[in-house]
Amino acid sequence: MIKRTLFFSNPAYLSTKNEQLVVSFPDEGKPPVTLPIEDLGYIVLEHPQITITTGVLTKLIENKTAVITCDKQHLPNAILQPLTGHSEQTERYRHQLNASVPLKKNLWQQTISTKISNQAHHLTARNKDSKKIKRWAEEVKSGDTENHEAIAAAYYFQNLFSHLPNFSRNQKGIPPNGLLNYGYAILRAVTARALASSGLLPSVGIFHSNKYNAFCLADDIMEPYRIYVDALVYDITQKYHNHEEITPELKALLLTLPALDVIIEGKRSPLMVAMSRTTNSLYECYAGISRKLLYPVFESTG
């Protein structure tokens, strides 16, 4: 089932009644809106004058709904996740924490090879040169010891956004870096939600290991999925003359990310469902059931 994403950019009061989310707008005089909590996958709280009851938070967490808050710049800055996401959580934690270094290096090789391959497919879809990047995808070694990820990323962004003068990928750089940051933050929330549902610790990564990062594993696993944010942002730069400001309209486009169709194992699936398949395949690798991570393949036609 595809879960809904709700975005709140105005003052609102969120409460609950009969397993429903009740949204009131005290400053606007509108009648309350009622929504089934079971249909909700993500809630983005952007306005500082949003009030939400503990009862709502409890029911949202029980439903595995990711609650995302935003900072003063209106960018997502926190994700509320359940402490218990799976009935076998303790056992799954044990498998994850006992994963060997060779296994982690192999998983990272698969992750980066797929990420670079998807970047090549995206460049092909935009009628841009992808020969070099296709070769780099095949040359990734265990643990990506030669750092093909960084080499490919520099080439990829330079060519993808070649129609934008002076663009380079930098979190604090010129537009559309802000749109990319926003989209990646939503993707991170999708990944963290799926990892929790699969009974895994989002903070213990296979490559990322920053002690100040609570989402190292989410940052690892989302890498091949970044391409779908890139595609949305590229389309925005083509269709919207003014994309320097992250307007509510552009945010709405980026918030369609969880429901986007992707191809995984040759079949179409909403991205949020595909992500759950990816995180479950990761657990199977940790448990010794499988050696292959399931990742989507970006379509290069269209």
Residues annotated within the binding site are 149, 208, 223
Q: What are the CA-CA distances from residue 243 to residues 138, 143, 157, 177, 230 (Å)? A: 35, 37, 17, 10, 14
Q: Would you say 53 and 15 are in contact if contact means Cβ atoms under 8 Å apart?
A: yes
List CB contacts of 199: < 8 A, sequence separation 6 or more.
Answer: 85, 86, 87, 88, 89, 91, 92, 93, 283
Alpha carbon distance 213, 226 (integer Å): 19
Amino acid identity at 21: L
Which pairing describes strands 12-17 and 30-36: parallel, antiparallel, or unpaired? unpaired
Element (H, E) at 186: helix 177-197
Identity of the amino acid at 182: Y
- The size of the chain, in residues, is 302
How crowded is residue 145: how many other Cβ atoms within 10 Å of its Cβ?
11
Residues annotated as binding site for Mn(2+)? Answer: 149, 208, 223
Determine contact, residues 87/195, Cβ cutoff 8 Å: no
**Alpha-carbon separation of residue 124 from 103, 128, 130, 290 (angstroms):** 32, 5, 6, 31
